[in-house]
Each structure stands twice: as C-alpha cells, then as structure tokens.
C-alpha cells in the first residue's frame, strides 16, 4: 500500500517514513501541501492513503484536504494535529476527512488508525461509487448487444454466403466475450480488485475496436477512412478500459450520422514528439453539437438522443482522466464532430527502433 506523508518538519517526516516502511508500506514524502498535490496529480504511482500535518506554512492540512476532495472523494486522508478544537473537527468532517490522530502519538497508534481506515474503506465501499459504476457497465453491455443484433441481422441477409456467416458469428462470439468481461467487473465491483496495467499498443487496439463495428457501419451505410501512424503508439493503462473508451467514441460517431446524406467516419492516430503524447481523433459528418449542449456532454445521463442513456461520454471522460489524459471535443452544427483523446506516450526500450508496416 502506498502512503503519502505530508509534514513540513523533516525530522518528523523521516521518523514516519522509517516506521511505516518497517511495516511494509511504501512511503512517499512531501514537505508541503503544494508538493503533495503535485505528487497526487502527476506522481508515478497511485497513492492509497494521505497522512498530513494540519499546521504547515502556506497551504495547511485542511486546505490540502479540500483540494484533494475537489478531484477525489474517496482517497483516505488522515489529519495529524495537536489541536483538538471542535470547529476544526467539524470542518474536516464536512470535507470527508477519514480520521484524526492527535500529536504526540506512537507508531502503534498510527498503525491502528491506518488499519481502522483501511477496514472502513473495505466495509463501506461507497454505494455512491457503485451507483455511478453499475449503470456505466450496463451501458457497455448494451453497446455489445447492439453489435450482436447488427451481426445477426446481416447474417440473415447472408445465409447463402458461408464465409460471411462465419465472420458474423465470429463477431458475435467476440462481443459475448466482452460482455463476460464486463459481468466480471460487475461481480467484483466494490471489492477493491485492481485493474491490470500494461503497455497498450494503440493502433492494434483501434483495429480491434473498428472490427467490432464494421458490420454496423455496413448496415448504416457509413464509410470509414483511417490514418494510423506507422510508428508504434504505446499508452500505459488498462486495455479493457481503453477499448471501452474508443468503442464509445466510435459508436457515438456512427449514431450521430443517422439520417445524414454523407456518412463519413475518419479515425486518426498520431504521435507528437514535442509534447511526447499519443492522440486519437475520431471525426464524423454527423449532426453536430450545439454550444449549449457542449458544456454538458460529459455529464452523466445528459443526452440529446431520443433513446440515448447519456453515459457514453461520461464513461469516456472517466477513463481518459484515469489514464492521465485529456479529451477534447470540437463540433459544428450540420457539419460534424471531432473527439480527440490525448495521452502521455510510453516508449518501451524494446520498441524504440521498431517500425510496423
């Protein structure tokens, strides 16, 4: 478990680091709140618990707690303080502080408090998190059911074409496997299971996502153009989640072109050496998004579609941010929309001199 300890007193910081490491924790240190926020936002490893002093120059521990809560409602925070003031406790509780420990304290007392917080985390797996997660996973299942129904419809038309039937059945089997993966996530939701992190090659992933919706595009008369950089494009993250991200964007683009005369989908993948980032753009010739709606498109359950659930772009935003990326959307009414996902690029040593065909 990774713990970030924040204290402006170097001696206290060192003492806590030595003590916590002796019990198997991986300890990261910050001498002030500003450095702590930098580590939380851009650090190489995920932090599981923050232990912070209250009295610090500049931003104090309460202000740090409030900053953390602006972006993360679930990260456990333990506040170290020598002040047992009622107003301080009330303010901390209002900002979802998980625990207090009053100075001076022993290592045993701190370990017991950490154990209590961990136990509480596992016992109270936030119904709020589950309430937000389950509908999004069900939304992903619906996407694959849509793909299955499209393949069944095409298979009916192609009953005399053995190879086409095989292709449709293969797509159906692949979609059912995806649904099985989502069902596993539903069954383990709230149980603290970690998502697998690996080096994901973006172009290969995009090929798989495109393949999933090829038959749907055929049914809807959508033509596609792709410009996938010849260079390997790697992102560090969870392959399944990245797949969900791009499939949501592709499906949104396909849906937006219903009823349009021109139905053109363009998918572009690029590497920007100046920013050391990889990006994927998905461009459609759909109906476009109004300025009023543009400010709401990432909000859960907001949709302008008659039958839409309003969860697709909310899922996209969650996944992009989890992978330390950025999602940008540009649109013109009557001309179409371009969605661009940008991620920090990763270049494993084994691929630096490689080039694909």
Q: Residue 190, preceding bond cis, omega within 30 degrees?
A: no
Phi, psi of 281, rounded to the nearest 5 degrees: -110, 135
CA dihedral 229, 233, 238, 244 (to 10 degrees): -10
| Average pLDDT, integer, range 42-50 | 86
Report pLDDT digits (tens) over 194-213: 567 788 888 888 988 888 88
| Average pLDDT, integer, range 147-170 | 82
C-alpha 203/C-alpha 357 separation (Å) is 12
Q: How many CB atoms lie within 10 A of CB 62?
A: 19
Is residue 291 scored above 50 in pLDDT? yes
Q: How confident is the model at residue 239 (pLDDT cuts 50, 70, 90)?
A: confident
- The pTM assigned to this predicted structure is 0.52
How does strand 326-332 pair with strand 336-344? antiparallel
| Average pLDDT, integer, range 56-66 | 90
C-alpha 287/C-alpha 133 separation (Å) is 29
Report pLDDT digits (tens) over 261-280: 899 999 999 888 888 888 99
Average pLDDT, the chain: 80
* Cβ atoms 284, 265 nearer than 8 A: yes
* Cβ atoms 64, 81 nearer than 8 A: no
Is residue 37 scored above 50 in pLDDT? yes
Of residues 323, 347, 340, the one with CA closest to residue 232:
347
């Amino acid at each position: 478990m990774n713990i970030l300890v924040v204290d402006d007193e170097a001696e206290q910081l060192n003492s806590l680091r030595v003590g916590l490491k002796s019990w198997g924790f991986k300890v990261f240190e910050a001498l002030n709140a500003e450095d702590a926020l930098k580590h939380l936002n851009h650090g190489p490893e995920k932090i599981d618990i923050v232990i912070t002093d209250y009295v610090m120059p500049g931003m104090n521990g309460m202000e740090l707690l409030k900053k953390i809560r602006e972006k993360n409602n679930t990260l456990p925070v333990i506040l170290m303080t020598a002040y047992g003031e009622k107003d301080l406790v009330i303010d901390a509780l209002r900002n979802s502080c998980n625990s207090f420990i009053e100075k001076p304290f022993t290592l045993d007392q701190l370990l017991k408090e950490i154990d209590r917080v961990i136990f509480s985390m596992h016992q109270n797996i936030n119904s709020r998190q589950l309430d937000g997660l389950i509908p999004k996973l069900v939304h992903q299942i619906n996407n694959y059911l849509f793909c299955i129904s499209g393949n069944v419809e095409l298979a009916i038309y192609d009953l005399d074409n053995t190879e086409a039937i095989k292709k449709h059945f293969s797509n159906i089997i692949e979609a059912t496997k995806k649904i099985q993966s989502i069902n596993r996530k539903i069954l383990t939701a709230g149980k603290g299971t970690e998502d697998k992190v690996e080096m994901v090659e973006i172009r290969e992933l995009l090929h798989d996502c495109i393949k999933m919706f090829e038959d749907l595009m055929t049914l809807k008369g959508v033509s596609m153009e792709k410009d996938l950089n010849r260079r390997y494009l790697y992102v560090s993250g969870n392959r399944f989640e990245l797949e969900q991200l791009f499939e949501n964007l592709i499906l949104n683009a396909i849906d937006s072109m219903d009823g349009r005369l021109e139905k053109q989908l363009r998918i572009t993948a690029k590497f920007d050496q100046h920013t050391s980032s990889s990006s994927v753009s998905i461009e459609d010739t759909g109906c476009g998004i109004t300025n009023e709606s543009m400010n709401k498109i990432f909000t859960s359950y907001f949709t302008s579609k008659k039958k839409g659930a309003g969860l697709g772009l909310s899922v996209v935003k969650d996944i992009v941010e989890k992978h330390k990326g950025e999602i940008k959307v540009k649109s013109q009414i009557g001309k179409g929309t371009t969605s661009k996902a940008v991620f920090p690029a990763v270049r494993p040593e084994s691929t630096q001199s490689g080039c694909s065909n």
